[in-house]
Chains A and B, each alone.
Chain A
């Protein structure tokens, strides 16, 4: 199933397919977050606040408005 990261349920492992924003992609790639990499959502702040995602063994905070642009695929 393909869905934006912002819609992914907590603790479900998914794979990044595509980042639909050039500038965002540029910043994510620096953190090693690029298509093909596996990730999962760990924590969600209330009222559509930021998400913390576990990727490459590290937790990273991103805004849910940014997560909208990240397309992921689950099994």
Chain B
């Protein structure tokens, strides 16, 4: 009989090297899926050891099992879910040698849930450098479960851990006195069994979470409320930890050269701290444009060239056109993102790994509160500059519901990377390529678009703050990790998995829309089919080449795609758009980046020679005025439209998933749409 896969949950506090351990165990064999029963994303990894298959589930980093934030709720629900077969076979609790006592608190909570628990002490090497020694044997006898010491970065102890993972793990021993003083133990156990709980601590948590005040009143004879029970639990747990702590943990303070404190003097300084923060952001965005430009041009010209090559090699016909005029330009529109996405995730993972992200929270909290958010909103908003989807998911660390909701609502206004290709091509078309010394005008406009994203997000936050009323008071309490040198391996894996996820997600939408667009553009009603006869009557004297262009233009106009575009034209005409841009707007409703691909497809169908997308758009003339379609006013109007409109189905989906509310998902889509339409309208009417 083949042995079944062992399912292992990996959990621990934030910033303890949990992800490093996960990467060390699973490498690139990881994917994002859904928690059974809980509809949030989880990261799963796979490995095999001694012919056994292991599945590792990386749970979010939390400080305690009490669900205050969404992340904590996820962990609690996952570990206590009703379907026993979806519960993990083993639980690894990771603690850090650098923050040992605090991390043990979470471990003891998990331990009382009566699960097969393995305690992993990470960062042993970093601890030793700071004079910290942990006696693992004594720890094991104190906590009464398998203990292994590792350093996830160097790989120390990983083999011992793997061996433990395939071994039988004993169920952890819980004691009511570990968390409960004020209730008679017998009464409590009786009540627990009566309410159908087999594990008393699970029952205790259940009472606290469901705020079962009446039952607590009954059990404590009205002496304690649930907050006091929680405070008492914490005090008892720390008391228990202290009872063995000094036997296990020794710190030689003379060895501790605290680089972190010295760095914080500068990085958290009331003046220099902010200056450095701005400088870091500036470097990140400069790099995105400078380093990504070359590979992006290369990808663009390669897709154009390969389309040309395939067109010549394959036999002529509908399939040939579908490939070279529909699919390849569409896919090219996705591939062109890779350099920028990769660079962005590269910098984000460095900021995260070093521990700098928490300093940003410190610096920005006061400012963000003015806009209805918290310092913790800054990290999601900055991630929003890569993509709104991870940004909205990153809001789970924000405990306060109002601050979290506002952050979700405004995050898509940040300039995500899907807007970059749209901006790049529009700016190249309408902004002159002039330089003032070393500074290019196009670059300044691009920077302006980023600032527009930030300011509109803050402004919208301020407006929402005025209208939203929540009772709950907000708190900010975060532990600051010590600075660490980032691991290249972690950065590499983060860049790889995020870029891959982006390509597959965006790719699916783009391939589908490309095919649909192409079919709609190359089929039509009577006028479409009779185009050559009509033009024959209208222009009998034209040369065959000019005649072909006329026919193609008439066909496109009367294709199903053209009909759709013409239908929406009256609505978007005041914004300075023609029906072709209308088609691009509609098709990029699902994903902004489709805009460039759609432009490529629409203009490809008109043209004979292979050109890059920019060349095609430059040549495009407005049918009625004869002026260039992408004039200054239209270009600016389009830039503003793309800055504000929520053209991203994935974002809509993730907002719904995170807010579980049609109302807020609808409000987000509507307010951004209204903002986009009127900003574009005003800009065009002033500039035209």
- Residues of A at the B interface (CB closer than 8 Å) are 22-32, 34, 42-50, 52, 56-63, 66
Chain B, 84-107, contact with A by CB distance < 8 Å: what is the 0/1 string?
Answer: 000000000000000101100100
Give the docked Cα–Cα distance between A62 and B366 (Å): 11
5 cross-chain pairs, A with B, having the tightest CB-CB distances, nearest first: A49-B366, A29-B234, A46-B270, A59-B480, A43-B268
Q: Which residues of A contact B66 (CB under 8 A)?
A: 30
Least CB distance, A62 to chain B, in whole angstroms: 5
Residues from chain A with Cβ under 8 Å of B375 in the complex: 50, 61
B234 contacts across to A, CB distance below 8 A: 26, 29-30, 34
- Residue in B68, B235, B479 whose beta carbon sits within 8 Å of that of A34 in the complex: B235
Q: How large is the interface on B (under 10, 10 to 19, 20 to 34, 35 or more residues)?
A: 35 or more
| Cβ-closest chain B residue relative to A23 | B227
- Asked whether A61 lies within 8 Å of B63 as measured between CB atoms, the reply is no
Question: Are B235 and A27 neighbours in the complex by a CB distance under 8 Å?
Answer: no
Interface string of B223-261 (1 = CB under 8 A from A): 000010011001100100000000000010000000011
B135 at the interface (CB under 8 A from A): no
Chain B residues 345 to 386 lying within 8 A of chain A, measured CB to CB, are 358, 361-363, 365-367, 375
C-alpha gap A60/B361 in the complex (Å) = 12
For B358, list chain A residues within 8 Å (CB).
61
- Say whether B235 contacts A26, CB under 8 Å: no
Q: What residues of chain A lie closer than 8 Å to B294, measured between beta carbons?
A: none
Report 23 cross-chain contacts, Cβ distance below 8 Å, ordered by A residue. Answer: A22-B227, A23-B473, A26-B231, A26-B234, A27-B68, A42-B261, A42-B264, A45-B268, A45-B363, A46-B270, A50-B366, A50-B476, A52-B480, A57-B101, A57-B251, A58-B102, A59-B480, A61-B362, A61-B479, A62-B477, A63-B365, A66-B475, A66-B476
B407 close to A (CB within 8 Å): no
- Counting CB contacts under 8 A, is B534 at the interface? no
Q: How far does the Cβ of B447 sit from chain A's closest Cβ, in whole Å?
A: 26
**In the complex, how many angstroms separate the beta carbon of A27 from the nearest chain B beta carbon?**
6
A22 to B473, CA, bound (A): 12
By a CB distance below 8 angstroms, the chain A residues around B265 are 43
Q: How far is the CB of B122 from chain A (nearest CB, A)?
A: 16
A49 CB, min distance to chain B CBs, angstroms: 4
Given A27-B475, A45-B270, A61-B477, does the pair A50, B362 have CB atoms closer than 8 Å?
Answer: yes
Listed in ascending order, the chain B residues whose CB lies under 8 Å from chain A are 63-64, 66, 68, 99, 101-102, 105, 227, 230-231, 234-235, 238, 251, 260-261, 264-265, 268, 270, 358, 361-363, 365-367, 375, 473, 475-480
Report chain B residues within 8 Å CB of A23. 227, 473, 475
**B64 near A63: Cβ-Cβ < 8 Å:** no
Which of chain A's residues have a CB closer than 8 A to the CB of B362? Answer: 43, 45, 49-50, 52, 61
* Chain A residue at minimum C-beta to C-beta distance from B264: A43
Bound CA–CA A36/B560 (angstroms): 76
If the complex has contacts A50-B476, A58-B479, A59-B479, are A32 and B363 also in contact, measured as CB distance less than 8 A? no
For residue B112, give the distance in angstroms from its CB to the closest CB of chain A: 15
Name the contact of A26 in the complex, choosing from B102, B230, B366 (C-beta under 8 A): B230
- Shortest beta-carbon distance from A10 to chain B in Å: 11
Residues from chain A with Cβ under 8 Å of B227 in the complex: 22-23, 26
Contacts of A56 in B (CB 8 A): 101-102
Judge whether B231 and A58 touch: CB under 8 Å. no
- A49 to B478: give the CA distance in the assembly, Å: 14
Interface pair A32/B238, CB less than 8 Å apart: yes
Closest to A51 in B: B362
State whether A29 and B235 are in contact (beta carbons under 8 Å apart), knowing that A50-B476, A61-B478 are contacts in the complex. yes
Report A-chain residues with C-beta under 8 Å of the C-beta of B480.
52, 58-61
Given known A24-B475, A58-B102, A60-B478, contact A45–B365 (CB-CB < 8 A): yes
Would you give the shortest CB distance from B369 to chain A, in whole angstroms? 8
A29 to chain B, nearest CB (A): 4
CA distance A34 to B239 in the complex (A): 12
C-alpha gap A30/B361 in the complex (Å)? 21
Nearest CB of chain A from residue B227's CB, rounded to whole Å: 5
- B62 to chain A minimum Cβ distance, whole angstroms, is 11
Residue of B nearest to A37 (CB): B238
- Chain B neighbourhood of A60, CB < 8 A: 477-480
User: Which residues does chain A contribute within 8 Å of B473, judged by CB atoms?
Assistant: 23
Return the chain A residue nearest B225 by Cβ.
Answer: A22
Q: Once the chains bind, are A61 and B238 in contact (CB under 8 Å)? A: no
Q: Which residues of B contact A32 (CB under 8 A)?
A: 101-102, 105, 238
* A29 contacts across to B, CB distance below 8 A: 230-231, 234-235, 238
Write the nearest CB–CB distance from B670 to chain A, whole angstroms. 33
Given known pairs A23-B227, A31-B477, the reply for A47 and B366 (CB within 8 Å) is yes
CB distance from B109 to the nearest CB of A (A): 10
Question: How many angstroms between the C-alpha atoms of A57 and B102 in the bound complex?
Answer: 10
B479 close to A45 (CB less than 8 A): no
Residues of B within 8 A of A25 (CB): 231
Cα of A42 to Cα of B273 in the assembled complex, Å: 14
Which chain B residue lies CB-closest to A21? B473
Shortest beta-carbon distance, B627 to chain A, in Å? 51
Q: Is the CB–CB distance between B231 and A31 below 8 Å?
A: no
Return chain B residues, CB-CB under 8 Å to A62: 476-477
With a cutoff of 8 Å between Cβ atoms, the chain B residues found around residue A30 in the complex are 63-64, 66, 105, 234
Chain B residues contacting A42 (CB-CB under 8 Å) are 261, 264
Q: Is B102 in contact with A27, judged by CB distance below 8 angstroms? A: no
Question: In the docked arrangement, what's the CA distance between A48 and B366, Å?
Answer: 8
The residue in chain A whose Cβ has the minimal distance to the Cβ of B361 is: A61
Which residues does chain B contribute within 8 Å of A66, judged by CB atoms? 475-477
A36 vs chain B, min Cβ distance (A): 10
How far is B479's CA from A34's CA once the two chains are assembled, in angstroms? Answer: 16
Q: Which residues from B are CB-within-8-Å of A24?
A: 475
Most B Cβ at <10 Å: residue of A31, A45, A46, A57: A45
Q: Which residue of A lies closest to B366 (CB)?
A: A49
Are A52 and B231 interface neighbours, CB within 8 A? no
